[in-house]
A = this chain, B = another copy of it.
Amino acid sequence: MPSESVTEVRVRYAETDQMGRAHHGAYVTWFELGRTEMMRRSGISYAEMERRGVLLPVVRLEVDYVSAVSYEDLLEIHTTLEEVRSRRVRFAYRVVAADGGRTAAEGATVLVCMSPDGRPRRLPDDVRSALAELTASDGATPSEGG
């Protein structure tokens, strides 16, 4: 099973809408927080990658909204890196209420590797290796892992 990274985020007032809940667009930003923090913890600074000319734009986004969340709710973004290929990666997310563990949303993003001039390129070897470790088993019994 791929390792999971958990990022806490509290719903901001500016993220609510007049339905009195977090706007559905806020989750896109939370997914982004989840994956960039997962990468940072693995020693991959996205800011540093960009300085090296490696961009990772999102090419596919999916969100299933399960239950609403409100202003001041503390959330956990559970992020897993589902797949790493030479030019694309896929992250999956689960947003849960920190208090109780109710699932608020699930989703995924696919990102491709690109040069600053907009052309597709391969992930640098060191980045790919670091990412590959995130998809590996993190448990004590890897033989049972995915």
Contacts and interface: CB of A to CB of B under 8 A. Distances in A.
A24 B65 contact: no
Nearest to A24: B58
Interface in A60-83: 60-65, 68, 70-72
A134 B72 CA distance: 21
Number of chain copies forming the complex: 4
Contacts of A60: 63-65
A19 interface: yes
A43 interface: no
Given A18-B50, A59-B65, A60-B65, 6 more contacts: A13-B17, A13-B32, A18-B19, A47-B71, A57-B65, A68-B118
26 contacts: A12-B33, A13-B23, A14-B17, A14-B23, A14-B25, A14-B28, A14-B32, A16-B17, A17-B18, A18-B19, A18-B20, A19-B57, A21-B57, A24-B58, A24-B61, A25-B29, A25-B32, A36-B72, A40-B72, A46-B71, A46-B72, A57-B65, A59-B65, A60-B65, A61-B61, A68-B118
